Each structure stands twice: as structure tokens, then as C-alpha cells.
């Protein structure tokens, strides 16, 4: 395992026979050329976990897309625990279609029963068919257990699956 920092993003890389796995946490902004991560990963398939990314601005988004483009040329890119902020911006940008496979992502959910509003993780593999039809799954509220719903228009999170 190696750990380093690019701008305000903490990066941890693990490599095993099935491929590389990078865990990113922090702020994706104009302070770090995220493309530097490519040189730290072996060629082949890679999984990127961005659960810990809390902020992304327009320049950070540009760096993110550049990173995905560079990695796509070397193997399958799988995004795991894709951060809410990244998911929303990736759905806005046409360039993001087909750049990577999304296995799970965070989204804002709201519980009508208790009023809780917060992020939840959606398993994009288990719910693949629904997501493709822009039907977000209901998930148990983390406070009261009642079915919680996506707190936003489905296309803001799910257009990328169509």
C-alpha cells in the first residue's frame, strides 16, 4: 500500500493480482493535478473509491475527467462509492458518459416519515435495471428504518446509466 497527497486529495493505492485500487479523500479543486495519479498506478484495470471526496469545483471536475480519460485507455475503470458531488456533476457533463463503470454511488435521500435528509449509498450493480429506467430504489432510512426516497430529480443522478 502506498499513500500520498495530490493537492488537497489524500490518495491510498493498493495493488493486487486483480488490479489496482485507489481510495481518494478530500477536496478536488484547483490545487492538484489529479493526472499525476496515473503514473502511480500499474497499467490495467483500476477501481477508484471516492467516498471521502467532500468537495469538487469546476477545475477539480476537469482534473477528474482528465484522470478518467487517461485511465480508460489502460483498462477498465470502476468507480466505487462515487461521491455525491461527483455523481451530480458527472451527470451534467456529456463527456462523462462511458468513461467508467459505476458500481456504487452516494446520493441524497429524504425520509418522509421522520424528515431525515442525508447521503445514502446505492448499489448500482444490484439495481442496474431500475437505474437505467431512471427509477431510484427506496432505501431504509438510517434513522427510523422507513423507506427513504431520492431527494432530487432522478435524472440528476441517473442520466449517466441510460
How far apart are the C-alpha atoms of 149 and 54, rounded to whole Å? 22
Residue 47 vs 51, nearer CB to other proteins: 51
Q: How far is the CB of 111 from other proteins (least distance, A)?
A: 11
Residue 14 vs 117, nearer CB to other proteins: 117
State the DSSP code for 1: -
- Written as nine digits, the cell of 10 is 489524500
Residue 21 vs 89, nearer CB to other proteins: 89
Residue 29 vs 130, nearer CB to other proteins: 29
What residues make contact with other proteins under the rule CB under 8 A? 29-31, 54-59, 61-62, 65, 84-85, 89, 92-95, 108, 110, 117-119, 151-153, 155-156
Number of neighbours of residue 112 by Cβ within 10 angstroms = 11
Q: How far is the CB of 125 from other proteins (least distance, A)?
A: 25
The answer for residues whose C-beta is within 8 angstroms of residue 125's C-beta and 6 or more apart is 103, 104
Q: How far is the CB of 92 from other proteins (least distance, A)?
A: 6
Quickly count helices (H) and strands (E) in the chain.
5, 10
Give rounded-to-5 percent helix, strand, coil for the chain.
25, 40, 35
Q: How far is the CB of 128 from other proteins (least distance, A)?
A: 23
Amino acid at each position: 500500500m502506498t499513500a500520498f497527497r495530490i493537492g488537497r486529495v489524500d490518495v491510498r493505492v493498493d495493488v493486487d493480482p486483480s488490479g489496482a485500487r485507489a481510495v481518494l479523500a478530500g477536496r478536488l479543486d484547483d490545487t492538484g493535478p489529479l493526472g499525476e495519479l496515473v503514473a502511480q498506478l500499474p497499467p490495467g484495470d483500476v477501481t477508484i473509491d471516492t467516498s471521502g471526496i467532500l468537495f469538487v469545483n469546476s477545475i477539480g471536475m476537469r482534473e477528474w475527467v482528465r484522470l478518467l480519460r487517461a485511465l480508460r485507455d489502460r483498462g477498465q475503470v470502476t468507480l466505487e462509492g462515487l461521491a455525491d458531488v461527483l455523481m451530480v456533476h458527472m451527470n451534467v457533463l456529456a463527456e462523462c458518459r462511458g468513461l467508467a463503470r459505476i458500481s456504487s454511488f452516494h446520493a441524497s435521500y429524504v425520509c418522509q416519515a421522520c424528515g431525515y435528509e442525508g447521503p445514502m449509498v446505492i448499489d448500482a450493480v444490484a439495481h442496474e435495471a431500475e437505474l437505467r429506467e431512471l427509477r431510484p430504489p427506496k432505501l431504509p432510512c438510517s434513522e427510523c428504518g422507513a423507506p427513504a426516497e431520492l431527494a432530487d430529480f432522478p435524472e440528476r443522478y441517473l442520466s449517466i446509466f441510460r
